[in-house]
């Protein structure tokens, strides 16, 4: 029998984690083969590989321990990939050369699929003097636009979607612009934004005191702290960003406060990291460790939990040595501190299985107890590894034990660290686990509540058809198996009905025992009052959280998912899914490109660029999905060999984007925005800024003809088309250089009287 609890789980394994040849032929025949591949790879560094391969396999078996996707997909493949999920890049210098060196490092990291975080507080504010060039600084947001464009470019080249976090201190002079940046719907789409909130700022907010905006010792402006806080809250209320990171609390509680300062996190926020910091992730599946589910004796098996955590820590520590890194600085940082991020998934399901309502005081108490057991086991396991293999290189017993996170640790943990040292500087973190929770049978993700208990998922097949399947939450499926058609008890609450402060209670309960941080979204009802909304963030501060992220559906943000009254639905990070835009149009998103059918329908367009001897021929082929045509591939051909290299590159890149699905109209937008510094040309009475912009126009015309977008400039974030010049009634041919209708015969050659252009040179 298959190990998979649902078709969606097997599909995700096949599309994301199963090892295959370059042509798609499977190497991992079964999921057991994948577990064996991972176990063998992570046991290779052990003195007794055979013994530890068996132990590691047992931990992976039946989805009990879930290494993050990069480990599951990359370990033991022999491929040059990073097994780390999270990176924070180096501190950005406040000079042009350093800024663009940092941009290059970001591009190299993202090229390998790493999500990155950056603190832009180090760049001088807009309008500040730039000595030696007689100019004023453009400010950090202008450079964030450059990073955003870089990320879009790497994404359009067919790589995994880029993910970036940008942070800025609450006392930076440009913080007000940073807070409101996402008001522009076309700006900084590749970034998550978070404000670094300090303890003095929160004190000033509570006291309604003044707050200075400062850079390099100079006060640029003084505002009321509460006004600035309300501005953060209002933009988060309306646009779901920026998030809030309590940065002083993070640094005070950091085990490594004696040798590093943190100013940024990875994109989902669960990993606050120093410059060049890197961390790998893995999760204990709590839903698999409950005995006697839905009976009066139901309980989490704490002994099994302890054993599983100890094995997981050893596996993750081995990943530090097995992984490659995009940059040498990241490798050095990882080796010096050996950070790991062991977390949980299936918490909400486990609580349901022992009869507890997520968000209740009792559930928070049990969560505290379970997370303490995990932290204790992890720290003791790491101390034992230190005795066997050595402590992390920057370990200082006295300073380490004096850190904030160790203050409430049990005495036996402190004694073990004092006697043996510790192998890993930080050990615990709670990631979103969206995909791996589905792969494990649709257990509730991370420490989030169950979003909905069952939903219908539309699955896109390779022949273009769609099938529907029911996806049921793990705990609900187990209830059905045990109780038949008995109705779900009233403690089966979900994210749609859970009060926001119950979310905060659960996050705070878990945070006490997590030495890094937690990825958690607090769902707020659309009709929550602004004052109540602000109260959620203040409660997160008061209860000891390290940050806060909320989501309130509205006309601007849309809804992560609309749960219909007639059928329960929930978001799924699936191999293929149909999503609806605000106007009801369906857009297909794919995590893997579709195979090419044997035959496709298409159209070829001729583009004659003025001044070029040979025309370009642009062929766009379409695929039909659910009765709708969408572009599948592009071919650009020309007899002009000067065009050969870039047309081939453009063909491959655009086709890769088309085959990934989703709303690909941004390709038009990007191409139409390209300006050639040598000048554009006039085509059909319109100035086109470059040949690439002309190609973008051809693709746009095709998208209009097949009904993918409604019209020119429609469906785009912005339409960067050139202005159309009113020319009146034409008098003969227009000039191919300047567009004026002032061509005349001069010495036997047509010459433009306006600009002097002549085909005769």
pLDDT in tens, 614-660: 788 899 988 876 556 788 888 888 777 667 778 788 888 888 888 76
What b/e sequence results for 431-463 when a residue is b if at least 16 CB atoms lie within 10 Å of its CB, and e otherwise? bbbbbbbbbbbbbbbbbbbbbbbbbebbbbeee
pLDDT in tens, 513-537: 999 999 999 989 989 999 999 999 9
What integer pLDDT is reported at residue 134 of this predicted model?
64
CA distance 273 to 235: 26
| Residue 639 vs residue 149, higher pLDDT | 149
pLDDT in tens, 717-753: 444 443 333 223 334 455 555 445 455 544 445 556 5
Is 749 designated active site? no
What integer pLDDT is reported at residue 494 of this predicted model?
84
Average pLDDT for 373-392? 98
In the three-class reduction of DSSP (H, G, I as helix; E, B as strand; rest coil), residue 170 is classed as coil
CA distance 246 to 265: 11
CA atoms within 13 A on the CB side of 191: 34
CA distance 655 to 427: 42
What integer pLDDT is reported at residue 166 of this predicted model?
95
What integer pLDDT is reported at residue 155 of this predicted model?
57
Average pLDDT for 650-675? 80
CA distance 183 to 759: 49
Q: What is the 3-state secondary structure (H, E, C) of 343-382?
A: EEECHHHHHHHCCCCCCCHHHHHHHHHHHHHHHHHHHHHH
Polymer length of the chain: 761
Closest CA to 4 of 438, 305, 346: 438
pLDDT in tens, 453-500: 887 776 656 666 667 778 899 999 999 999 998 999 999 988 878 999
190 pLDDT higher than 80: yes
Average pLDDT for 8-25? 89
CA distance 461 to 358: 36
What percentage of the chain has pLDDT greater than the value 70?
A: 83
Average pLDDT for 1-23? 86
Which H or E run contains 658?
helix 644-659
Phi/psi of residue 135, nearest 5 degrees: -145, 165
CA distance 106 to 89: 7
Is 760 designated active site? no
pLDDT in tens, 395-437: 999 999 999 889 999 999 999 999 999 999 999 999 988 889 9
CA distance 635 to 736: 26
Residue 510 CB contacts under 8 Å (≥ 6 apart), including other chains: 347, 367, 368, 371, 430, 447, 518
pTM exceeds 0.85: no
DSSP code of residue 26: B
| Residue 666 vs residue 74, higher pLDDT | 74
Among the residues of 240-301, which ranges form H helices? 247-253
| Residue 522 vs residue 674, higher pLDDT | 522
Sign of CA dihedral 431, 435, 439, 445: positive
484 exposure class (CB count in 10 Å sphere: 0-12, 13-18, 19+):
exposed
What integer pLDDT is reported at residue 24 of this predicted model?
85
CA distance 445 to 495: 12
* CA-based end-to-end distance of the chain: 77
| 95, 102, 145, 158, 448 from 142: Cα distances, Å | 14, 15, 5, 26, 35
What integer pLDDT is reported at residue 707 of this predicted model?
80
Q: Which of 170, 268, 524, 545 is catalytic?
A: 268
Q: Which of 85, 251, 254, 266 is catalytic?
A: 266
Q: Which of 241, 270, 333, 670 is catalytic?
A: 270
Per-chain mean pLDDT for the chain: 85
Average pLDDT for 146-160? 68
CA distance 616 to 605: 8
Is 266 designated active site? yes
Least confident of 113-117, 558-562, 619-623: 558-562
pLDDT in tens, 581-597: 333 334 444 444 556 67
């Amino acid at each position: 029998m298959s190990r998979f609890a649902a078709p969606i789980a097997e599909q995700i394994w096949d599309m994301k984690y199963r090892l295959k040849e370059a042509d798609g032929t499977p190497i991992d025949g079964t999921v057991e083969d994948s577990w064996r591949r991972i176990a063998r790879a992570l046991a290779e560094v052990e003195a007794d590989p055979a013994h530890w391969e068996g132990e590691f396999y047992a931990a992976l078996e039946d989805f009990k321990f879930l290494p993050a996707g990069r480990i599951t997909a990359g370990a033991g493949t022999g491929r040059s990939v990073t097994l780390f999920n999270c990176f924070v890049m180096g501190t950005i210098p406040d000079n042009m050369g350093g800024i663009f060196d940092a941009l290059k490092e970001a591009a190299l990291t993202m090229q390998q699929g790493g999500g990155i975080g950056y603190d832009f507080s180090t760049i001088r504010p807009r309008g500040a003097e730039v000595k030696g060039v007689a100019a004023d600084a453009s400010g950090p947001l202008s450079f964030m636009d450059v990073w955003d464009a870089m990320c879009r470019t790497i994404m359009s080249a067919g790589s995994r979607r880029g993910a970036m976090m940008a942070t800025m201190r609450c006392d930076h002079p440009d913080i007000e612009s940073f807070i409101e940046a996402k008001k522009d719907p076309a700006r900084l789409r590749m970034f998550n934004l978070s404000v670094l909130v300090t303890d003095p700022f929160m004190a000033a907010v509570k006291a309604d005191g003044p707050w200075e905006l400062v850079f390099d010792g100079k006060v640029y402006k003084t505002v009321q702290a509460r006004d600035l806080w309300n501005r953060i809250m209002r933009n988060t209320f309306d646009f779901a960003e920026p998030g809030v990171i309590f940065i002083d609390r993070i640094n005070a509680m950091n085990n490594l406060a004696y040798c590093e300062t943190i100013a940024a996190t990875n994109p989902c926020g669960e990993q606050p990291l120093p410059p060049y910091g890197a961390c790998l992730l893995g999760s204990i599946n709590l839903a698999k460790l409950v005995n006697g589910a839905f009976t009066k004796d139901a309980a989490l098996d704490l002994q099994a939990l302890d054993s599983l955590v100890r094995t997981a820590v050893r596996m993750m520590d081995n990943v530090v040595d097995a992984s490659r890194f995009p940059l040498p600085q990241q490798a050095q940082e990882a080796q010096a501190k050996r950070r790991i991020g062991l977390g949980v998934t299936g918490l909400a399901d486990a609580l349901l299985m022992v009869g507890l309502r997520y968000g209740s005081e009792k559930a928070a108490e049990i969560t505290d107890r379970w997370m303490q057991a995990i932290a204790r086991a992890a720290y003791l396991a790491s101390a034992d590894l230190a005795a066997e293999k050595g402590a992390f290189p920057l370990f200082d017993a006295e300073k380490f034990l004096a850190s904030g996170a160790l203050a409430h640790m049990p005495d036996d943990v402190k004694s073990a660290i004092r006697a043996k040292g510790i192998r890993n500087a930080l050990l615990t973190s709670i990631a979103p686990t969206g995909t791996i929770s589905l792969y494990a049978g649709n257990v509730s993700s991370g420490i989030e509540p169950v979003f909905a208990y069952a939903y219908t998922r539309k699955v896109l097949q390779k022949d273009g058809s769609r099938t529907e399947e029911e996806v049921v939450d793990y705990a609900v499926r187990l209830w059905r198996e045990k109780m038949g058609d008995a109705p779900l008890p009233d403690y089966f609450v979900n994210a749609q009905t859970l009060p926001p402060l119950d979310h905060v209670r659960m996050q705070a309960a878990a945070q006490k025992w997590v030495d890094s941080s937690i990825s958690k979204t607090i769902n707020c009802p659309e009709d929550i009052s602004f004052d109540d909304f602000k109260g959620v963030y203040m409660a997160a501060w008061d209860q000891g959280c390290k940050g806060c992220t909320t989501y309130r559906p509205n006309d601007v943000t849309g809804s992560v998912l609309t749960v219909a009254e007639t059928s329960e639905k929930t978001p799924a990070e699936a191999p293929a899914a149909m999503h609806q835009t605000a106007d009801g149009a369906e857009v297909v998103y794919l995590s893997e490109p579709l195979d090419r059918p044997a035959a496709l329908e298409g159209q070829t367009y001729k583009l004659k660029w003025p001044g070029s001897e040979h025309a370009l021929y642009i062929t766009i082929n379409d695929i039909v999905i659910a009765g709708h045509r969408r572009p599948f591939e592009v071919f650009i051909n020309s007899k002009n060999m000067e065009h050969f290299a870039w047309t081939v590159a453009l063909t491959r890149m655009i086709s890769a984007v088309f085959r990934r699905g989703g709303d690909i109209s941004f390709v038009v937008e990007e191409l139409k925005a390209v300006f050639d510094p040598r000048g554009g040309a006039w085509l059909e009475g319109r100035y086109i800024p470059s040949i690439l912009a002309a190609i973008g126009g051809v693709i746009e015309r095709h998208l209009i003809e097949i009904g993918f977008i409604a019209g020119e400039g429609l469906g785009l974030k912005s339409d960067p088309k050139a202005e159309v010049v009113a020319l009146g009634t034409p008098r003969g041919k227009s000039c191919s250089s300047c567009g004026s209708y002032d061509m005349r015969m001069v010495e036997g050659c047509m010459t433009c009287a306006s600009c002097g252009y002549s085909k005769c040179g």
